[in-house]
Chain A
Amino acid sequence: MTRHNPWKQRIKEFFSSWLVSPAELRSYGVLGMNARNIRYIAHYNDRTRYPVVDDKFKTKLAARKANIPVPELLATMDSQAGRKALLHTIEQCEKFVIKPARGSGGKGILVINGRDGDLYVKPSGVRVTTEDVLRHASNILSGLYSLGGKPDRVLVEAMIDFDPALADYSFEGVPDIRIIVFRGFPVMAMLRCSTHASDGKANLHQGAVGVGVDLASGRAIHAVRHGYRVDRHPDTEMPFDKLVVPDWSRVIRLAASCYEMTGLGYLGCDIVLDRKRGPLLLEANARPGLAIQIANGGGLRGRLKMIESLEPEQFEKNVEERVRYSQLIF
């Protein structure tokens, strides 16, 4: 039957302008949410290891034990009684970040990067009072941002003094690097650059730019904003094709070493570059999102399959060897 059917054709065109066929996605090796949850997260991530990454306070303790550098923790607060101590800490700092220990998806993070008399200045220039900051802390404590509304802990971190090499690629915020580490092997990386629209947050669905990064060189290969390909940063107008992540070999080695620290087989590591201290582990994620595929313009599935097909003794390798292997094949 090769008879021309105008209606069928029209319907097909309508759908193909909006959707891609599953077969096409599969041919690109795109990993879907369901497959990620069942094949990788449920299969390789041990439930008992989740608290290490879900609670950023525990992540910090574990990182310290594993000699992985993290942003400096200024104060924590786990009850309303800690208000005074918190107040005391933040009054002395010009720049700091307040975040919930169990927040998800970047929720509940308050960034203060300046002072204006008694007021605190957010990266967007909005000024907030001490009361506002304390209210934010008590919201965190009562579990507003934590999964399931469980009571939470407030972390106050030193502001990252981020590497100037990346400053031109980020507006009002800290660019961070997300690396997916599968069974210890880094498989894909992206740089998330905040924009004015994303309010200094490196969240892709809030309008930050996702930049796919080549694992071997740290060079940008592809940049995407709101799902569309971009060549320049929307606010700073810097072209992405000149972007190279500085200190890349340390960054990727740090990511790979998170496997030993967390014991999670399928892991997303968020890394920031500090001017003085180099790459720091911001947080680790047991359920890393799939947007990294859009930023890289390619699917994860093939790379994950490749790692899965390795000989068992390959998994005995140390961090150095794993990174070298990943840089070779991807």
Chain B
Amino acid sequence: MSPRAQVYILALILAVLGAGLTIYKSSVLGFPLMPGAYRTVWTIEAKVEFLAEGGPAKVALALPRAQRNMRVLDETFSSAGYGFNIRHDGDDYRAVWSRREVEGRQSLFYKLQTYQVAGEPLTQPLDFSTDVRKPFMGSREQEAVGQAINSIIERARVASSDIETFTSQILVQLNDSGDQDRNMVMSHYQDSSLADVALYVLSVAEVPAHRIRGLYLEDDRRRLQAEELLEVYDGSEWIAFEPRSGSPGVPANFFIWQRGGKSLLDVEGGNRSSVTFSVIANDVPARTVAKKMTSREKDALVDFSIYSLPIEQQSIFKLILLVPVGALVVVFLRVIVGLRTSGTFMPVLLAIAFIETQLVTGLAIFLLVVALGLWVRFYLSRLNLLLVARITAVVVTVVILMGAISVISYKLGIEQALMVTFFPMIILAWTIERMSILWEEDGPDEVLIQGAGSLIVAVLAYWLMTNRYIEHWTFNFPELLLVLLGAVLVLGNYTGYRFSELLRFRQLVR
């Protein structure tokens, strides 16, 4: 295979690999393709309170499980003085706090961070029990209630075609305060919630059902009680109902805490226990969410990436990852445009310095240092020095110039000039040396051409490297470097004319 074909195939493989990894990271791992994307992260805090009786106490709180439309980012437990562990039994997860001797009011906290993603909230099928325990309704005082319930069921059955519509009908009737049967039933079960009554009625109708506990996610809510939904088995799958509206499906902002009929909180050795919830929403950069998420799941792509480094090194890498972009600018301007620069990659280093100093300040300082340096260098060239010694002399001169510029401008109140320290001294010294040789050998015109060329490349590279999209992509999707590498390979194979050659050879064609 010819080298040319190899280059194209290799470039294609690199591009596909880089683009594929990027697409995977953005669509599966949720890294945002565009900078500045935010996600709403909900912080839910459950507060368990009880009055301890003085002896051993044990508190068990049901914990929410992962849901398909909710991702859990982080969980924290506060357990001052308590032994703590998490027990799970099948689908039921519980946080258990325990202590040998405790007295007085106790507060325990469980905090969870979650964010919503697209998807159905409930998974099917679930192996919940579909047994129905039909309640005993034989006693005398229950006779009237029993009749009212049967009447409700009868009317619902007539007005429905299957379990789903039947359940809807029952809930609509239980919410209709003008209905005599319903008022009868509700007054009998005064202490029970609507969901309790609905479950009771459904069990009489022999429909398998249980409750779902959870919260409506709304910003800045405190001391919320757990809300309840119903879940009904229609013979093949479970359908959730909002009991007040009677409509099927889980409401969009409902966070499911617990499915199934078990208790939410068990307290042994205490009384007057309660669990309340508070909810806060924060807008967090989507990347932070994705990073946190994947670091929990230990995705290899993320675990062995720059994100696993300490924050300080990450910020260094943020800069390093921009260097290839600058180098690509150099390749492009050299191969396609044909711009002459002084030192191939010097402009990239200049662009990095510009990132720190801002463009205008950087350009001004650079021109000042080089101009003064060239002036000193012309004198040095008359002193018969050996090359290395002379360059060292230029380096020292550059350092002195940098110090002088800093001090003088600081005294004059121009603080931007302090940025001079961001310029790489050795690069400045070499630039001065090269420029001065160029001046002696090829004249000032060539110095101007190459100097301007270098500055154009540096400014273009700076402009690209500070572009917020490019900054975002290089840091969050370093695999795009493979695409860049492919592009460089293809550029390295370009045999067409350079733009400058269209200028250079124009006399030849005339």
By a CB distance below 8 angstroms, the chain A residues around B441 are 107-108
Given the complex, which residues of B lie within 8 Å of A144, measured CB to CB? 387, 437
The contact of A34 among B443, B495, B502, B509, by CB within 8 Å, is: B495
- CB neighbours of B496 from chain A (8 A): 22, 32, 34-35
A32-B501, A34-B494, A34-B497 known; A229 and B388 CB under 8 Å?
no
Q: Is B338 an interface residue (CB 8 A)?
A: yes
CB contacts (< 8 Å) of B443 on chain A: these are: 206
Q: What is the bound-complex CA distance between A23 and B446, given in angstroms?
A: 29
A282 to B443, CA, bound (A): 25
Indicate if B508 sits at the interface (CB-CB under 8 A). Answer: yes
User: Which B residues are in CB contact (< 8 Å) with A143?
Assistant: 387
Q: Are B508 and A294 in contact (CB under 8 A)?
A: yes
* Chain B residues, Cβ within 8 Å of A285: none
- Which residues of the other chain, B, contact A5 by a CB distance below 8 angstroms? none
Q: Which residues of B contact A33 (CB under 8 A)?
A: 338, 498, 501
Is the Cβ of B497 less than 8 Å from the Cβ of A25? yes
Chain B residues whose C-beta falls within 8 Å of the C-beta of A32 in the assembled complex: 495-498, 501
Q: Is the CB of A229 within 8 A of B386?
A: no
- A142: CB under 8 A from chain B? yes
B495: chain A residues at CB < 8 Å are 32, 34-35, 38-39
A205 to B441, CA, bound (A): 11
Interface residue ranges of B420-441 to A (CB < 8 Å): 437, 441
Minimum CB–CB distance from A199 to chain B (whole Å) comes to: 9
> Is A293's CB under 8 angstroms from B442's CB?
no
Given the contacts A107-B441, A144-B437, A205-B442, A227 and B507 also touching, CB distance less than 8 Å: yes
Residue interface mask A291-307, B partner, CB < 8 A = 1: 00110011100000000
B interface, how many residues as a size bin? 20 to 34
* Chain B 336-356: CB-based contact to A (< 8 A → 1; otherwise 0): 001000000000000000000
Chain A residues whose C-beta falls within 8 Å of the C-beta of B384 in the assembled complex: 131, 135
B304 contacts across to A, CB distance below 8 A: none
Q: What residues on A are CB-neighbors of B498 within 8 Å?
A: 32-34
| Interface pair B497/A22, CB less than 8 Å apart | yes
Q: Mark A18-37, 1 if CB is under 8 A from B, else 0.
A: 11111011101010111100
Say which residue of B386, B507, B508 sits within 8 Å of A298 (CB atoms).
B508
Task: Check if B506 sits within 8 Å of A142, measured CB to CB.
Answer: no
Is B508 in contact with A28, judged by CB distance below 8 angstroms? Answer: yes
Q: Is the CB of A25 within 8 A of B387?
A: no
B443 to chain A, nearest CB (A): 7
Q: Is A138 an interface residue (CB 8 A)?
A: yes
For A21, list chain B residues within 8 Å (CB). 502
Residues in A neighbouring B442, C-beta threshold 8 A: 205-206
Nearest CB to that of A149 among chain B residues? B387
B501: which A residues are within 8 A, CB to CB? 25, 30, 32-33
| B386 partner residues in chain A, CB cutoff 8 A | 138, 142
B193 within 8 A of A: no
Shortest distance in angstroms between A153's beta carbon and chain B's nearest beta carbon? 15
Give A35 to B493 CA distance when docked, in angstroms: 9
Closest to A224 in B: B507
- Of all chain A residues, the one with the shortest Cβ separation from B494 is A34
By a CB distance below 8 angstroms, the chain A residues around B506 are: 18-20
A139 at interface by CB-CB < 8 Å: yes
Within 8 A of B (CB), among A127-146: 131, 135, 138-139, 142-144
- Does B412 sit at the interface, judged by CB under 8 A? no
Report if A14 contacts B (CB, 8 A): no
Determine the chain B residues whose CB is within 8 A of the CB of A30 once the complex forms: 497, 501, 505, 508
- Name the CB-closest residue of B to A107: B441
In the complex, how many angstroms separate the beta carbon of B488 from the nearest chain A beta carbon?
14
**Chain A residues with Cβ under 8 A from B388's Cβ?**
142
CA A323 – CA B248 in complex, angstroms? 94
Are the C-beta atoms of A228 and B502 separated by less than 8 Å?
Answer: no
How near does chain B come to A82, taking the closest CB pair, in angstroms?
14
Q: Does B504 contact A (CB under 8 A)?
A: yes
B335 within 8 Å of A (CB atoms) = yes
Residues of A within 8 A of B502 (CB): 19-22, 25
CA distance A52 to B441 in the complex (A): 25
Chain A nearest Cβ from B346, distance in angstroms: 14
C-alpha gap A298/B506 in the complex (Å): 11
Within 8 A of B (CB), among A218-269: 224, 227-229
Does B503 belong to the interface (CB within 8 Å)?
yes
Please, how many angstroms separate the alpha-carbon atoms of A33 and B336 in the complex?
Answer: 10
- Binary per-residue interface labels of chain A (195-231) against chain B in the complex, 1 for a CB within 8 Å, 0 otherwise: 0000000000110000000000000000010011100
**Can you list 10 residue pairs at the A/B interface with Cβ under 8 Å?**
A19-B503, A22-B496, A25-B505, A26-B497, A28-B508, A142-B387, A205-B442, A229-B507, A294-B508, A297-B508
- Which 9 residue pairs across A and B have the least CB separation, nearest first? A142-B387, A35-B495, A32-B497, A19-B502, A135-B384, A20-B506, A227-B507, A20-B509, A22-B497
Beyond the given A25-B502, A34-B496, A34-B497, please list 17 additional residue pairs across the A-B interface where CB-CB is below 8 A. A18-B506, A19-B503, A20-B505, A22-B497, A22-B502, A26-B497, A28-B505, A28-B508, A28-B509, A30-B497, A30-B505, A32-B497, A35-B497, A142-B388, A206-B443, A228-B507, A298-B508
